[in-house]
Every structure is written in structure tokens, then in C-alpha cells.
Amino acid sequence: MSEVSTHDGKAIVIEPAISWAAIFAGAVVALAASVFLSLLAAGFGFDLAAGGLSTRRSLAAFTPELGASAIAIQVISAGLGGYLAGRLRHPWLAAHSDEAHFRDTAHGLITWAIATVAGVVLAASVLAPYAEQLASVTSPTSTTAADPARAAHILVQSAFFTAVGMVLSAFTASVAARVGGLRMEDMHAKGRASRGD
């Protein structure tokens, strides 16, 4: 919400640089979309559930296709959340276009960060009660001799795909927020023109 202040007899509009309501709405949508897309991928046979790489079975089943699917889920959900954050933010009538560009991309990046941290906290809280069961599943048994070099290689690959997905999804959220902000500005301009303002 904008505030009006006076300085030397002139009215100055003070606009908040950040719209927390839009950011939190985008973060919630990004997190929900990520959960939905992960469940959809699980329906197609991909093991992308939270903690999916915490068991020997899931590490042995890791493939580049699985990593690419995880990246796609991150990017799509971050783009949706970022666009929503940019579209829902309040208008910055007095901001220069470069400043509006920065603010929109910052909205997208903050949306991505909140959704990522919330997702990690949610996954940790869901998996905490099952820590003993996961430990028993991941402990080596006498019937299966795990190859430590292969396990380390797969773990590195999964970490690489996760990192790439995080970078791409942060970038996507920032760009999508700017696209949403531009669309919102365009709609406000059309509304003012139709009213004759």
C-alpha cells in the first residue's frame, strides 16, 4: 500500500519496494506445484519423493533421466511461483523501469528461496519420525554387497543435478516474476487508459 507524504508543499508517493503478500503467495504455489508434480512423476514410476536419495535402492535406481525430471519439476514450479509473485505485487507508479525490473526479479528470487527453505523444512519434518526405518533400510546387509565407488559416483551425480536444478529454478523464478510484473503493469496501463486517467 502506498503512502503519501508532503515535502516543500509537494505530495510525494512513497511506495513499498517489496510486496510480501505476493512473495508468500508465490512461494506457497511453487511448493504446492512441486509436491503435485513430484506425485505426478511418481505415478509415472519416477522415485522423486522427499528423501528419495536416502536409501540404497533409490540411489541404485538414479539415472540422468530421473535427475532431468527433478530439474524440470523445480523449474516449472519455481516459474509458476515467480510469475504469480510478479503478477500479484502492487504497482510501482513512481519507480523507474530499471528499478521495477530489479524489484520484480528480487520478488522472484525471494519467492524461490522461501519455497526452497520451506520444502526442505517440510521434508525434514516428514522424514524425522522415520529416521530409524531409513537407517535400517540404508544399512548394508549380508546379501547385498554395495559398490562404494558406484554409490559415491551416483551420489555426486544426484547432488550435481540438484544443484543445477536449484540454479535454473532460481533464475526461472526471477525471470517469471519480471514477466508477471510486466503483465501486471500492462493491465494497469490499459485500465487507466480505458477510464481516461
Which range, 106-120, 147-161, 180-194, is most confident? Answer: 106-120
CA 110, chain centre distance (Å): 9
Lowest mean pLDDT among 15-24, 76-85, 137-146: 137-146
Question: For the chain, what is the domain count?
Answer: 1
Within 8 A by CB and 6+ apart from 62, the residues are 53, 154, 157, 158
**Residue 10 counted as domain residue:** no
Cell of 65: 533421466
What tens digit of pLDDT does each residue of 33-90 get? 999 998 888 888 776 654 444 455 555 667 778 888 889 999 999 999 999 999 999 8
On whether residue 3 sits in a domain, the answer given is no
Please report whether residue 183 resides in a domain.
yes
Mean pLDDT of the chain: 81
How many Å apart are CA 66 and CA 28, to the nearest integer?
A: 25
181-189 average pLDDT score: 89
92 compared with 5, residue with greater pLDDT: 92
Q: How confident is the model at residue 143 (pLDDT cuts 50, 70, 90)?
A: very low
Residues 6+ apart with CB under 8 A from 25: 84, 85, 88
Which among 26, 31, 68 is positioned nearest to 48, based on CA atoms?
A: 68
Query: Does any domain span residue 113?
Result: yes
Would you tell me how many other CB atoms lie within 10 Å of the CB of residue 68?
Answer: 13
Please tell me which residue, 178 or 154, carries the higher pLDDT value.
178
In a domain, 88, yes or no: yes
Q: Which domain holds residue 173?
A: 17-92+103-136+147-195
7 assigned to some structural domain: no
What is the reported pLDDT for 147? 72
Q: What is the pLDDT of residue 84?
A: 97
Task: Tell whether 65 is covered by a domain.
Answer: yes
Identify the pLDDT of residue 52: 47
Summarize the confidence of residues 110-129 as an average pLDDT. Answer: 89
126 phi, psi to nearest 5 deg: -75, -40
Identify the pLDDT of residue 48: 62
CA 191 to chain centre: 31
**H or E stretch at 3:** strand 3-7
pLDDT of residue 59: 58
62-to-12, 57, 149 alpha-carbon distances in Å: 58, 9, 15
155 in a structural domain: yes
The length of the chain, given as a count of residues: 197
Q: Which three cell numbers stand for residue 32?
A: 504446492
The per-residue pLDDT for 49 is 53
